[in-house]
Amino acid sequence: MIVMKFGGTSVESATAIQRVAEIVRSRRKQDPIVVVSAMAKVTDQLVAMGQKAASGDAEGALELLPALKERHLAAAKSLLSPKVFTKIASKLEKTFLQLGEFLRGVSAVHELSPRSSDFLLSFGELLSSQFIAPTLTELGLEAQWVDSRECVITDGSHTCARPQAAETRQRAQAVIKPILAKHRIPVMGGFIASSVDGVPTTLGRGGSDYTAAIIGGALNAECIEIWTDVEGMMTTDPRLCPDARTIRRISFNEAAELAYFGAKVLHPATLLPAIEKDIPVYVLNSRNIKSKGTRITAHAPSGNEMFRAITAKNGISLVNVVASRGLMVHNFLRTVFEALDQHSATVDLVAISEVSLSFTIESKRMPEELLAQLEKIADVTCENQQAIICLVGEDIHGRHGIAASVFSTVADAGVNVRMISQGASEINISFVVKESEVPQAVRHLHARFFGEPESSKAEVKLTLPDANGRRANGKKGRVAVN
Ligand code: ADP
Ligand code: ASP
Ligand code: MG
């Protein structure tokens, strides 16, 4: 049995869903379980509706509803026979009525709690999965809709709930195994789950990848396939750098590090269940049924380059904390870390000198009272709109001159480095730059480290590109995807 997850762009239209059906057909013999995201942009639209409703603007919130409904109904109509469409349309109509009522309720109370937000966002995946299941059946792939809220069980941390492994395993097996036994294809929405007491929760934005891995882990799948809009995990985000190319093999650790530091192609927690059960994960292109994509496994052979990939994570705040005079150094560090702990602050990078400490945190996760508390013992500055750039590779450990190559390249790009972290993780070098300087820095680094895959690592070390990304030998850094 395998798990196949299709992201938002892979189910964005009737044509895309037909492609999904063909891809699923190609895996029919492997007993697929299909996990789908909401149609592209639907979750963003639900967020926008929620914000309008919470501000009391019921009209504004409801204004967006007819287009959303029309999009789902139009796709369903073009995919289903009239008889089945009539049945599914009335189901979808009911769901939209419920959504409308909910938005009116939110605007009446002027409040959207994390719990209500999860309820609201669950509509995206409920809607898509409810009509994709019968579509697969119509196309000759007997499918059965599964309510993810009945088989993915989480704690109550709304908006980024954590799965409860034992409960999920038991429920997922009880619900899904009988469907597989009847040779049907279970089709379920990703991202959505429920707490033990049945309240809808979500796994955090981009969480459908995680659902696929959770289900794969719970049912001991042979592999987990993440079908998306690019040809696998790439050497960097192709939107940032058009020269990015597909990585054929990558290790769990490297891929997890990339996902954590901003490679949106995988939700950061996706690899946890796969690592635990040693299940290979593939990232594949849903626009290319023959896609070879990327294979992610416990170990991956070394590539030709020094690094496996470069990633960037925006929306970072850089906090500098300088001890007030008179505070003992060890007390200073203890006090800062205690404050971080008290506020459950998840910091990404930390750098310490004798009386000062800098750390980064996602701006949207900055606890409200944290800075005020730190100001009691230290001078604190906080700079927003920063980004972490991270170069990942298992081969970098113990190699000479790598940091020098990285930072001289960033300097050549005219980019100022605000903070550096190397060594805490043996497989990455991370540093902080201004968000606006990310594209420049990443393009230079990519040209420097991925410009020529055939060249040896020693050569790469010696040939710095000029401002146009050209090496000393005059060759430009572009290489074809193999
Ligand atoms: P889906 O809707 O299929 O879940 P996402 O938009 O969440 O797709 O993720 C795919 C996107 O991730 C790509 O379009 C690409 O722009 C972005 N991305 C960021 N970093 C990488 C990377 N290293 N490799 C591939 N894609 C990346
Ligand atoms: N639909 C959700 C989101 O946009 C989950 C996902 O697509 O993975 O965040
Ligand atoms: Mg995604």
Q: Whose atoms come closest to the Cα of 206: which ligand?
A: 2
Rg of the chain (C-alpha set): 24
The yes-or-no verdict on residue 475 having pLDDT over 50 is: no
**Other beta carbons within 10 Å of 13:** 16
- Dump pLDDT digits (tens) for 292-341: 999 999 999 988 889 999 999 999 999 999 987 666 777 888 889 999 99
Ligand 3 centroid, distance to 371 Cα (angstroms): 32
Atom of ligand 2 nearest to the CA of 125: 1
Residue to probe by mutation, ligand 1, list 9, 20, 211, 230, most atoms within 8 Å of CB: 230
Atom of ligand 2 nearest to the CA of 208: 8
CATH of 2-297, one of 3.40.50.2300, 3.40.50.720, 3.40.1160.10, 3.40.30.10: 3.40.1160.10
Percentage of residues of the chain with pLDDT beyond 90: 85
264 lines ligand 1 (CB under 6 A): yes
Least reliable range by pLDDT among 53-57, 216-220, 300-304, 453-457: 453-457
Which of the pair, 98 or 331, is modelled with greater confidence? 98
Q: Is the CB of 12 under 6 A from ligand 1?
A: no
Three-class SS state of 361 = strand
**Which ligand has its closest atom nearest to the C-alpha of 7?**
1
* Nearest residue to 188 (alpha-carbon basis) of 112, 114, 132, 118: 132
How far away, in angstroms, is 255 Cα from ligand 1 center? 13
Distance between the two ends of the chain, CA-based, in angstroms? 29
Which residue's CA is minimally distant from atom 1 of ligand 1?
A: 7
Model pLDDT, residue 477: 33
What is the residue with the minimal CA distance to atom 11 of ligand 1? 265
Q: What DSSP string describes 279-335?
A: --EEEEETT-TT---EEEES-----SSS-SEEEEEEEEEEEEEEEPTT--HHHHHHH
Find the mean pLDDT for residues 175-181.
98
Asked whether the domain spanning 309-447 has the same topology as the one spanning 2-297, the reply is no
Ligand sitting nearest the alpha carbon of 8: 1
Report whether pLDDT(290) > 60: yes
pLDDT the model gives residue 323 = 87
Atom of ligand 1 nearest to the CA of 258: 23
For the chain, percent of residues with pLDDT exceeding 70? 92
Least trusted range by pLDDT, from 32-46, 136-150, 442-456: 442-456
Determine the pLDDT at residue 423: 67
Work out which ligand 2 atom sits closest to the CA atom of 210. Answer: 8
CA distances from 375 to 151, 331, 346, 380 (A): 46, 15, 19, 6
Q: What is the pLDDT of residue 452?
A: 58
pLDDT reported for residue 400 = 85
Q: Angle between the 402-412 and 438-450 helix axes, to the nearest 10 degrees?
A: 130
**pLDDT grade for 271, boundaries at 50, 70 and 90:** very high
Rounded mean pLDDT of 8-21? 98
- In this predicted structure, what is the pLDDT of residue 399? 80
User: Where are the chain's structural domains?
Assistant: 2-297, 309-447, 452-482
The residue ranges of DSSP E strands in 29-166, in sequence order, are: 32-36, 143-146, 153-154
Q: Is 234 in the pocket of ligand 1 (CB under 6 A)?
A: yes
What is the residue with the minimal CA distance to atom 8 of ligand 2?
Answer: 206
Considering the domain 309-447 in this protein, what is its CATH number?
A: 3.30.2130.10
Ligand 1 pocket mutation, candidates 20, 191, 248, 264, criterion most atoms within 8 A of CB: 264
Atom of ligand 2 nearest to the CA of 8: 7
Q: What is the DSSP letter of 470?
A: B
Report CA-CA distances (Å) from 411 to 248, 403, 421, 441.
30, 12, 17, 9
- 466 has a pLDDT exceeding 90: no
Contact 248, 240 (CB under 8 A): no
Q: What is the pLDDT of residue 189?
A: 98
Is residue 239 lining ligand 1, measured as CB closer than 6 Å?
yes
Query: Could you tell me if the CB of 206 is within 6 A of ligand 2?
Result: yes
Residue 476 predicted with pLDDT over 70: no
Q: How far is the CA of 11 from the centre of ligand 1 (A)?
A: 15
pLDDT tens-digit series, residues 50-77: 999 999 999 999 999 999 999 999 999 9
Query: How far is it, in rounded angstroms, from Cα 149 to Cα 201?
Result: 8
pLDDT at 284 over 70: yes
Instruction: Compute CA 11 distance to the chain's CA centroid, rounded to the nearest angstrom.
Output: 17
Residue 396: strand pairing partners: none
> For residue 468, is pLDDT > 80?
no
Mean pLDDT of 280-297: 97
**CB distance 237 to ligand 1 below 6 Å:** yes
Q: Is 287's C-beta closer than 6 angstroms to any atom of ligand 1?
A: no
CB-ligand 1 contact for 114 (6 Å cutoff) = no
Q: Which atom of ligand 2 is nearest to the CA of 191?
A: 5
Give pLDDT tens digits for 406-440: 999 999 999 999 999 876 678 999 999 999 999 99
Q: Put the strands of the sheet holding 223-228 in their side by side order.
A: 143-146, 185-189, 32-36, 2-6, 223-228, 281-285, 294-297, 249-251
Give the pLDDT of residue 377: 85
C-alpha 449 – ligand 1 centre gap (Å): 21
Give yes or no for residue 366 having a pLDDT over 70.
yes
Q: What is the pLDDT of residue 303?
A: 82
